[in-house]
A = this chain, B = another copy of it.
């Protein structure tokens, strides 16, 4: 009767959820993007219980989304940093943020704006593109079996 895991589903969505879909996990990753590196920082910023934070950090390190390094500081100190795999999650976070800006807050009440440093241009959308870098039409997409397809999508 253990909680079902999704890692046996041959589907990218299920795999992503299996690695970062746990309650709290994506918020920890978001906090890492905001600059948190220490246990106490995550704890304070999120208001998460220590045991749960400990568990989630361990799983994130196991999945190589975060790295854990001992610091050259007095005491038993560590820092957690996003790996390249972890940094690649910014698109997932951005997609969620844009969706909420549109459907939960309303676009003119967004609590957070992401903009290019030098030009100040705000990031307002994600565009689906093909290998050639040109946009594909989202309304005309179809799902096909890929090279690693078995049964379930």
Contact = CB atoms under 8 A, between A and B. Distances in A.
Contacts of A143: 34, 112-114
A68 B7 CA distance: 30
A16 to B, nearest CB: 4
Contacts of A126: 91, 95, 126-129
Contact of A123 (B17, B100, B111, B129): B129
A123 B10 CA distance: 19
Given A130-B116, A141-B123, A108 B147 contact: yes
Given A85-B103, A113-B144, A13 B34 contact: no
9 contacts: A13-B97, A14-B27, A92-B92, A109-B146, A111-B152, A113-B143, A113-B146, A121-B136, A122-B131
